[in-house]
Amino acid sequence: MLSSILGIFSNDIGIDLGTANTLVFVKGKGIVLTEPSIVAKDIKRDKVLAVGQEAKIMMGKTPEYIDVIRPLKDGVIADFEVTQEMLKYFIKKVHKNIPFINWLKPRPRVIVGVPSGITEVEKRAVIDAVKQSGARDVYLIAEPMAAAIGVGLPITEPGGNMIIDIGGGTTEIAVISLSGLVVSHSIRVAGDEMSDAIIQYLKRHHGIVIGEQTAEKIKMRLGSAYPSEKDQEEMEIGGVDIRNSPISTVIKGEEIRKALEDVVDNIVNAVKTALEKTPPELGADIVERGIVLAGGGSMLYGLDIRIREEVNLPVFRAENPLTAVVEGIGKTLEDIDLIKRVSME
């Protein structure tokens, strides 16, 4: 009863709980938060020091007693308690108490985007973490379904809609028709593996050790999936050598494209696998409509061209690939019937 009353004073929330970033959509307000999925914790005092962007700037720069944690791995919860703390912080940050009942804690309905390949144990971990963070009701929606809704694909119609959502921890490929996932293929290879491939390549070929944030900058500036003028671009980077002495070196775009080749191949092969599983009638629709790319990983330069050449189908990048999932979740907040149709629960 009390939970229902508190729900009256709560705005429903949509969360894209990503390995790299967490985005929050509040009904009636839109996207109100975009923060790294990172927590800094004082392990001596067992106390959270910072969450999100404030924690990210501490990465690689902390004393031994401060641990900077990414509590999600491959799109799912790896550290339950830290994820719960992170969610509590984000929900509190975006949910403003109504002044005359500021002694009450709001209990919002929450929809969370999760990988389509999530296990039942992982589902329960997400639901429990969100409920213990203050939610009244929790619904789960597969990330490719949310992305398809977010980019405006006609998912309720009897026709094939193919979407590839490349996040930080997972690449989600789905063919959707009549509000359901007819084909769903998920691999735990995505943006994080791209960054790691860059780190390993530079360690092997240049003898330089760099951190995650430097690898991310390199990926954004020089990363590509297809030969282009980007191959000739150069970038000076700093790190340490095997003796932990500071050094710098100059790298070229062509090297980074080669470093990313295995990761890109894995994504392309996953797309081919999903297409092989697609029923002929829906396959005919995809030939006509093409494939849509979403997610931060889809922004890798030339990836759309590479997939297009490999599968011989039209490939389009979403207008706002970084926010497609949370925008789709936001649209479901406006339609309770749609929530029930597309929910994984």
- pLDDT, tens only, 45-80: 999 999 999 999 999 889 999 999 999 998 888 999
Residue 221 domain boundaries: 191-261
Looking at residues 121-127, what average pLDDT do you find?
Answer: 90
**Residues 89 and 217 reside in one and the same domain:** no
Residue 29 counted as domain residue? yes
Residue 54 counted as domain residue? no
- Give the residue numbers of the binding site: 19-21, 168-170, 216-219
Question: pLDDT by residue (tens digit) across 155-210?
Answer: 999 999 999 999 999 999 999 999 999 999 999 999 999 999 999 999 999 999 99
Q: pLDDT-based confidence at 1, cuts 50/70/90?
A: very low
**Residues 31 and 93 reside in one and the same domain:** yes
Residue 148 to residue 184: CA distance in whole angstroms: 13
Helix (H) or strand (E) segment spanning residue 139: strand 137-142
**Residues 164 and 285 reside in one and the same domain:** yes
Tokens representing 210 are 């760099």
Q: pLDDT-based confidence at 106, cuts 50/70/90?
A: low
Residue 223 to residue 242: CA distance in whole angstroms: 25
**Residues 174 and 118 reside in one and the same domain:** no
How distant, in Å, are the alpha carbons of 33, 219, 225, 331 from that of 235?
31, 11, 18, 41
Q: In what order do the strands lie in the sheet with 30-36?
A: 30-36, 21-26, 13-17, 109-114, 137-142
Tell me which long-range contacts 283-289 makes (C-beta under 8 A, separation of at least 24). 283/160, 284/160, 285/159, 285/160, 285/161, 286/160, 286/161, 286/162, 286/175, 286/313, 287/313, 289/159, 289/160, 289/161, 289/162, 289/314
Residue 285 counted as domain residue? yes
pTM for this structure? 0.90
**Residues 92 and 204 reside in one and the same domain:** no
**Residues 155 and 283 reside in one and the same domain:** yes
For β-strands 47-51 and 66-69, DSSP reports them as unpaired
Query: In degrees, to the nearest 5, what angle opens at C-alpha 328 toward C-alphas 182 and 9?
Result: 130
The domain that contains 98 carries what CATH number? 3.30.420.40
Question: pLDDT by residue (tens digit) across 203-230?
Answer: 999 999 999 999 999 999 999 999 999 9
**Residues 84 and 231 reside in one and the same domain:** no
Residue 245 counted as domain residue? yes
Closest CA to 16 of 214, 294, 219: 294
Give yes or no for residue 102 having a pLDDT over 60: no
The domain that contains 211 carries what CATH number? 3.90.640.10
**Residues 313 and 333 reside in one and the same domain:** no
Residue 43 counted as domain residue? no
pLDDT given for residue 3 in this prediction: 45
Task: Tally the domains of the chain.
Answer: 3
Residue 61 counted as domain residue? no
- Give the residue numbers of the binding site for ATP: 19-21, 168-170, 216-219
